[in-house]
Structure 1
Amino acid sequence: MEHKRFGRLATGIVRFSQDGHWDQDVQQLLRFARREAVVAVSNPANSVDHLRLGQVVVDDLLSAGKQVRLLYSPDYLELRDRRPLLRHSSRGAQIRVTDNDFHNALIIDRRVAVLWSGAGADQPYAYLVREPALLRALHQFALLSWQSGHGLSEPAGGRIVLDDTARAVLNTLNLGLIDEAAARRLGVSLRTYRRHIADLMARLEVRSRFQIGVRAAQLGMLDDSSGTHGMSGF
């Protein structure tokens, strides 16, 4: 039997259609989140609403202080603007990319999951899962796929490549310049400069300026001509 609303199922598996109630259904499901959510997206979606919904899901979870893991396939990322993903990373979401074959899924607290099917179809559908044994298997598979993946900013060779702007921002941090002086040095507004710092944190998958310095030093990105004394600027 196919259902349209999440709240009708106590346990088991139910198939439902992604009709006009889809946004409200996912919002209702998110109220169950207590600690963490895993969002796995493999198949590119043709629907703009589907992409917008994904942003709503992640934004709501992060705003509520939940731990969020985002797992993507390379094919999906090829069709995406990565800026929203980098923003999620800067807000604390953990992002990995894997070549493993998997279905689109949302797993919350290992207690409830949604599996998408028919991606790209005119009438896509999904399954709501509250069957404990299947939930354990889904979470274990997601964990194995997560462990086999790599960071969002890492290309196939494993090396992070920064553009000229990111390198310039990194250099100002390494020199220990205050934000206002650094912005003037780069010829940008203070707001733009701080946005570049947030983007750099996302690229390096860190959450503070100090961690930028540590990570950049580990990757050999710091300008030797400026010396290591400037590390105090991070």
Structure 2
Amino acid sequence: MGSLLAESRRLLDQAIAEHRGVRHEAGDVVRLRPDMGWEHNLQQLLERARKEAMLTVASPLRIQQYKPGRQTVADMVTTGKEVRLLYTPCYAETRDYESLQRQPELCDRIRVSDADFHNMVIIDRQVAAVWGGTGEQRPYGFVISNPELLRVLHQFAMALWASAPQLSRHRTLSQPESDQMTLAVLRALDLGLKDELAARRLAVSLRTYRRYVADIMVRLGVTTRFQVGARAAELGLLKALSEH
């Protein structure tokens, strides 16, 4: 399983790197810049699903719950479509769990993984949207219909989803390692370390470090790195840093 995930992620990153610097107006990989209409476009993509949809959310473009999108997913489950949802632990913490419990069919489709993955929507294995770069100057987005790349995307997402615990199980597990990493990342941000240096000090990849930063922004309910410091101070997290 580990080798499969590593190879799938390598192929995915390679494909995205090849297209990230190019804007395609037509073809099987179309580069877009996520904007205020991105969520609406994703909802329209979900509504096209005839049989199945895979949705992985690592770091959303905004913090607030997007209710139309959630209703669309719930309607898909109700009408018998095969829906799978994968969240990072930090994103899962922002969801209204009590409300989800009242929708057991939807709640049972949600799994939580601390692996490093992109935000993705894959529809009927025929088209996908991939986006990321939250908190960076140049967020990116792609709409993909290339069969080979879609196969890799779906294989990677399915492997992660199949190996991840359900949301209900995740909530019963303590996460001291996650808390320690959060403090370490906050310390790096407080010191003003460049991402590359911070990643080396924490012994993680640059992409993983930036994912941690994006996760913290979600947990703190902020949209910029500057706001992270202010919010952390309000919550007394900076005091916790000085005690470690």
TM-score (norm 2): 0.52
CA distance, structure 2, for counterparts of residue 121 and residue 92 of structure 1? 31
For structure 2, list consecutive stretches of 5 or more residues without a partner in the other structure. 1-21, 175-244
Please tell me whether residue 26 in structure 1 is matched to residue 42 in structure 2.
Answer: yes
Residue in structure 1 matching 2:29, options 13, 36, 58? 13
Q: Is the 8 A contact 1:96 1:151 kept in 2?
A: yes
Letter in 2 for 1:94: R
The residue number in structure 2 matching 1:154 is 169
CA distance, structure 1, for counterparts of residue 107 and residue 114 of structure 2? 23
Residue in structure 2 matching 1:127, options 142, 158, 168? 142
Residue in structure 2 matching 1:109, options 114, 118, 124? 124
CA distance, structure 2, for counterparts of residue 128 and residue 136 of structure 1? 14
Q: Aligned pair in 2 of structure 1 residues 91, 71: CA closer, same or farther (>3 Å)? A: closer
Query: Taking every aligned residue pair, what percent have the same amino acid on both sides?
Result: 42
TM-score (norm 1): 0.54
For structure 1, list consecutive stretches of 5 or more residues without a partner in the other structure. 160-234
User: Which entry has the higher C-alpha Rg, 1 or 2?
Assistant: 1
CA distance, structure 1, for counterparts of residue 78 and residue 139 of structure 2? 28
Please tell me whether residue 145 in structure 1 is matched to residue 160 in structure 2.
Answer: yes
Q: Aligned pair in 2 of structure 1 residues 56, 116: CA closer, same or farther (>3 Å)? A: farther
Higher relative contact order (Cα pairs below 8 Å, separated by 6+ residues)? 2
Q: Is the 8 A contact 2:46 2:73 kept in 1?
A: no
Q: Aligned pair in 2 of structure 1 residues 127, 81: CA closer, same or farther (>3 Å)? A: same
The residue number in structure 1 matching 2:89 is 74
The residue number in structure 2 matching 1:198 is none
SS in 2 for 1:61: helix
Give the paired residue count. Answer: 153
CA distance, structure 2, for counterparts of residue 87 and residue 125 of structure 1? 35
The residue number in structure 1 matching 2:212 is none
Q: Aligned pair in 2 of structure 1 residues 2, 54: CA closer, same or farther (>3 Å)? A: farther
The residue number in structure 1 matching 2:198 is none
Q: What is the Cα-based RMSD across aligned positions, in Å?
A: 3.1
CA distance, structure 2, for counterparts of residue 101 and residue 23 of structure 1? 22
More displaced stretch, 19-28 vs 129-138: 19-28
Name the structure with the higher helix share: 2
Q: Aligned pair in 2 of structure 1 residues 98, 25: CA closer, same or farther (>3 Å)? A: same
Residue in structure 2 matching 1:46, options 57, 62, 76? 62
Q: Aligned pair in 2 of structure 1 residues 84, 22: CA closer, same or farther (>3 Å)? A: farther
